[in-house]
Structure formats: C-alpha cells, structure tokens
Amino acid sequence: MSNSFVELHARQRAEALLDAGSTRELIGPFDNMISPHLEPQGIVPEADDGIVVMKGTMAGKNAVVIAIEGSFQGGGIGEVSGAKIVAALEHVLADNKAGKTVYPIIILDTGGVRLQEANYGLLSISEIQNMIIALKKYVPVIGLVPGRVGSFGGMSITNALLSYVIGTDKARIGLNGPEVIEQEAGVKEWDSSDKNLIWNTLGTKQRQATGIIDEVVDDDVAAFKQAITSAINEKKDSQRDQRGDFYLSLLDQLDPSQPLDIAGYDKLFKQVTVKEHHLAPAVAGTEAGTKSRGRNWFEILTGIKNAQSEVPTVLHAQKDGREYIAIVPDEHNRFPRVQHGEVGLQEGYTVASVVNDLIAADKDKPATQKTPIVIVVDVPSQAYGYKEELIGIHMSLAAAASAYARARQAGHKVVAFIPGDAVSGGFLAQGLQSNRLVALDDLDITIQAMSKASSARITQRTIAELEEATKHVPAMAYDIENYQKLGSLYRLIEGVKGYDHDARAVGTVEAALDDAFASLDDAPTDLSFRYTNDIAVNGADGGRKATNQVRALMDQQWNA
C-alpha cells in the first residue's frame, strides 16, 4: 500500500522528511546524553531520551526536524528530552533572528509530561511553549501529529500553539486522556473502555471539523512532505491561541448542565455568533466568595474585599501599577468541573482576554513602562471532563499560556506568586510562563504534573511505589520544598502560609514580590532564569544539571 509515515520511528520519520544526504543528527544516541532520572526508578532509558533532533534541508530549504519517539515511555517529555527540544528551538530562533531562515518542524507523538520526571517535564514543556511563541514571529512552526500516541497532556497545549498542524486519521488530540478523566471524574463522566467514543471525540476527523487540527493527510510520507511544503511556502498560521472571543461566545451559548454529544457540539460550533469579550476588573462585594488561598492573596494584594467578577472564577485588578490575575474556585459555578478552582474552558480564555487587553493597552509604551503582572497561582488542576475535551480545553489553556508569554516577550515583567496548588495543565496556563516563580514555603502546597491516583494508574505503579519514588527523585515529589531543589523558584518565602493574612505575612510577601520585580530590571524576557541560577547549576539534589549539559552540547554541535 502507501509508504506509511505512521509506521516509522522518530529517527526514520526525521530522515523521511529531510532531503537524502542532507541530514545531521544533534545530540544523538552516541552522545550518551541519557536521562539521569529513569534508572534510579528502575526504568530502562533510551540513548536519545526519546527525542531526535535532525538538521537538514527539505526541498532545498534549511529545516530542523524535532521528532518525539512515541514508543519510548509514551513519548513523555522529561528533563533531557525537553531540554533537547528547547535548545534546538533556541538555536533555530537565533539563526532566524540573524537572518538565516531555518524552518522548524515538530513531530508530536506524546502523552505529555513523562510522569517519572514530573516537574521537570512541566518546566520543560513551558519552556518549549515559550520558544514556539517567540519563533512564530519569524517562521511558521509546523507540527505533525501522525499518530499512534497522538498529542496529549501538556504537549497538547504545545500543539495548540503551533502555526499549522498536520495529522493522519490515526492520531488523537486531547489534554486529559480518557483513563485520567475516568480516574478523576468517574466512569460516568467518561468510560475509557469505549473506544468508539474516544476516537469519535478525540480523533483527527472530529478535531479537524472543529478547528483543533488544520489538515489531515493520508498516512504517506509524500503526503506529509507536500503538506509541509505548502504550509511553509504559504506561511500558514491558524492562530489557534487567539480564538478566545469565538470560544467565550460559544461557552455563553452552551448550557453545561445538559449533556453534550458530538452532533450537538458540531451544531453549536457552526452557530456561534462571535462577540468580543473583555473582563472588567474585580470589585468589592458584600458576600465572601468560595474560600481559597488564591482568593485570600488576591484580596490582600489588591485590597478588594469579597472580590467579585463577571466571570466568577477569574479575578483581576490593578493595584499600585501592577496587574494581579487569579483563578479561584466557585462552588456554584455553572461548569461543575471548575468548582474547586480548576482551570477550565472559560478560565483559560478569560485570563487570555485579560492579558491580551493589557498587551494592547500597553502596546506603545516602552518596555520599562509596561504594566507588571502578578499571576496568583492556586490551581489544583485543569478541569477533567468530557465536554472540556470535546470542545478542546487544551486550546483554552494554550490561549492563556500564549498571552502570558507574549506579554513577557513584549517586556511586561511577569511574576507568578504561588500561595496555593500548582498542578499540571492548570499550572502551565496560570504560572509557568512567568519569568519569576515565587512561592510560599507551605507544605500544604501541591506542585505536580498529575494526582497520585492518576499518575499511579498511568505509570502502572501502586501509590505506595509512587510515593517511594517521590522520596528519591525531587522532580517526582509533590511539595514545594522539593520543587525548590530543581532551581525553578526565584524565591521560597519562609514563615508565611496560604491562608495567612496578618500584617507581617502581607509585608513579607509584598517585599518578596518587590524584590522579584526589581530583579527583572534589564533581565532577559525569557525563562532562562530557571536553569541558570545557582541551585539549578550547582544544586546537590539535581537542579537542572542535565538541562545545562544538553544546552552546552547543543551549542557545540549546532554549527559543527
């Protein structure tokens, strides 16, 4: 039959796309750059850590293919694999900035974060997203989702940020896999054994019809090449991260208390009347909102008592020239899956609209005068639900991540303040695109890629085995003190807890935020702080040593 692209492994896929004889692999299997985190957990590593970076030409044009190997650990992104992608994209960006056009092509075949390297995976994915957003100003960043793993988890958010995405009918795209939704929300929300429902919902046929993927081609190497070439030549960019008004209008017209099937959604999708959405700042109210650490600190830092907003789960306001943005729980929210503060469809798009409005308002100001942003992070997770996946919650989270990243890249100083939980896709949308992370030293904070129950199910371990692993691998841990060992935090604020509101606590936090903003004067607008600080470089408990090794090796090999 045809010359299948799906059948190929990552390296073969890269070779198949690039012109014969033009290829050169960077940080390949002979460079011994394997993950240091797998063997200590009894997991067999792969010499390339599941990522193939290959330079070459495509139809004569300079190109770099970054291919994820879906059959190694489900294509999960860990520290080394993530750093390979980031370092490669960074060089592509530098080349393009220097006037040498190089086209990046990313082959996604991934479940998202590699759960055995949890927090490293989340950090890496946010850094990949940052690079893609920066690159799109110069060249289209083409994504391929050939299948069979498809594109899930944090990498589905990445997927939504790509300029143009091409797949086959053997791919699926979604934020949360059906197994995770079943685990988190029950079998009634989604029966993960129902393969027809899975494919009808997440398969590319449905995804193309509703704007989540741009093109579906036959499973054939030549078909992929042709689609990529025309996407490059025509500079295709579907601007998937800028569709907030459409989706917020769609959500206005949706009754989330009623079941929504595929036909019903398709009908709704076609009937949407698009209206602009702008969220007014929060105002003081008479009744207390649903209690949360995020609300506590938003109200303290903005001075707004019982803050209320037109979108009850998204609070924003300016105080002393800083913009504060929080996602908060709302126990009576019309979307049941966000009642505990999860980031859902409406939250991601609304946060994006707030940040986009700010970018537009400050558009003509010099970088030093752009409004600084404080992201108040208290997100127990993203919303786990069938409707959320059908509509494409990953696109909503991508809209928020994109907005924060574009604000930062434009010169807004962005500091994430973490008084509450910072979990998974919720954290990717609301926090991880900041250039400084500042957290309370509060062991009630959960900071992770997935709940223990789901993580155990997906990695086929018991919760006891998982907890054992968290003791030895800081990136697997669920607490903020282990998180600091990775070097990701600018500052861990001691002596203040999530629900504190006394003057001393407030003063301490305000001073820490002032310090974080001060450190951003003349600082890079990227995310490099996280792997260049002292703990990251020299930390005894891991830091980002492997990241830095990868980066050094990529520097050496890029123009070799």
Partner 1 sequence: MEKLHFKYQATQPIDHPVHIGVVASGDLEVIMKPTDKTESELNIVTGSDGFKEVWQNVLTRFFARYPLLADFEINDFGATPGVVNLRLTQAMEALKDEQ
Partner 2 sequence: MSEERNWATHREAKARKLAAISSLLDGKIAQTKDAKTLLEGLIAPGDKVVLEGDNQKQASFLSKTLAAVDPEKINNLHMIMSSISRPEHLDIFEDGIASKMDFSFAGPQSTRVSQMIADGTLKVGDIHTYLELYARLYVDLIPNVVLVAADKVDHEGNLYTGNNTEETPVIVEAAAFHDGIVIVQANEIVDKVPRVDIPSDWVDVVIPADEPYQLEPLFTRDPQNINELQILMGMMAIRGIYEKHNVQSVNHGVGFNTAAIELLLPTYGEQLGLKGKIVPNWEVNPTPTLIPAIESGWVKSIHSFGGEVGMEKYIAARPDVFFVGPDGSMRSNRAFGQMAGQYALDMFVGSTLQIDQYGNSSTVTNGRLSGFGGAPNMGSNPTGRRHSTPAWQSLRPDNDPLGKGQKLVVQMVETFGSNKRPVFVDSLDAVKVREEAKLANVPIMIYSEDTTHIVTEEGIAYLYKTDSMAERQAAIEAIAGVTPVGLRSNPDTVKDLRARGIVAFPEDIGVNRNQATRSLLAAQNMEDLVKWSKGLYNPPAKFRSWS
Which residues of the chain form contacts with partner 2 (CB under 8 A)? 1, 3-4, 7, 147-148, 169-170, 172, 194-196, 198-200, 202-207
Q: Residue 185 is which amino acid?
A: A
Question: Number of C-alpha atoms within 13 angstroms, CB side, residue 268?
Answer: 21
Least distance CB 215 / partner 2 (angstroms):
14
One residue of 2, 71, 101, 556 binding partner 1 per CB under 8 A:
71
Do residues 17 and 223 make contact, with C-beta atoms less than 8 angstroms apart? no
Nearer to partner 2, 196 or 462 (CB): 196
Residue 43 partner contact from partner 2, partner 1, none using kind-dependent CB cut-offs of 5 to 8 Å: partner 1
Nearer to partner 2, 93 or 390 (CB): 390
Angstrom distances, CA of residue 319 to CA of 297, 301, 324, 500, 506:
13, 8, 8, 20, 14
Nearer to partner 2, 194 or 541 (CB): 194
- Choices 66-74, 151-159, 513-521, 551-559; region in contact with partner 1 by CB under 8 A: 66-74
Nearer to partner 2, 170 or 322 (CB): 170
One residue of 19, 29, 467, 549 binding partner 1 per CB under 8 A:
29
One residue of 15, 63, 65, 72 binding partner 1 per CB under 8 A:
72
One residue of 3, 4, 9, 371 binding partner 1 per CB under 8 A:
9
Q: Is 46 in the site for partner 1 (CB under 8 A)?
A: yes
Q: Is 444 in the site for partner 1 (CB under 8 A)?
A: no
Least distance CB 42 / partner 1 (angstroms):
4
Nearer to partner 1, 47 or 518 (CB): 47
**Counting beta carbons within 10 angstroms of the beta carbon of residue 546, is it exposed (0 to 12), middle (13 to 18) or buried (19 or more)?**
buried
Do residues 279 and 354 make contact, with C-beta atoms less than 8 angstroms apart? yes
| CA 273 to chain centroid | 29
Q: How far apart are the first and last CA of the chain?
A: 39
The four Cα atoms 232, 235, 241, 243 give a dihedral, to 10 degrees, of: -130
- Choices 41-49, 341-349, 493-501, 541-549; region in contact with partner 1 by CB under 8 A: 41-49
Q: For 267-357, where are the E strands, in sequence order? A: 314-319, 322-327
One residue of 1, 44, 503, 540 binding partner 1 per CB under 8 A:
44
One residue of 7, 19, 23, 28 binding partner 1 per CB under 8 A:
28
Q: Which residues contact 560 (CB under 8 A, 6 or more apart)?
A: none
Residue 46 partner contact from partner 1, partner 2, none using kind-dependent CB cut-offs of 5 to 8 Å: partner 1
Q: Is 69 in the site for partner 1 (CB under 8 A)?
A: yes
Neighbours of 356 (CB within 10 A): 22
Name the residue with tokens 């797949």: 167
Q: Is 30 in the site for partner 1 (CB under 8 A)?
A: yes
CA distance 140 to 158: 14
One residue of 3, 36, 43, 444 binding partner 1 per CB under 8 A:
43
Nearer to partner 2, 139 or 165 (CB): 165
Nearer to partner 1, 11 or 243 (CB): 11
- Choices 44-52, 54-62, 152-160, 454-462; region in contact with partner 1 by CB under 8 A: 44-52
CA distance 471 to 1: 51
Angstrom distances, CA of residue 244 to CA of 100, 107, 313, 420, 529:
33, 26, 16, 26, 30
CA distance 506 to 295: 14
Q: Which residues bind partner 1 (CB under 8 A)?
A: 9-10, 28-30, 39, 42-47, 69, 71-72
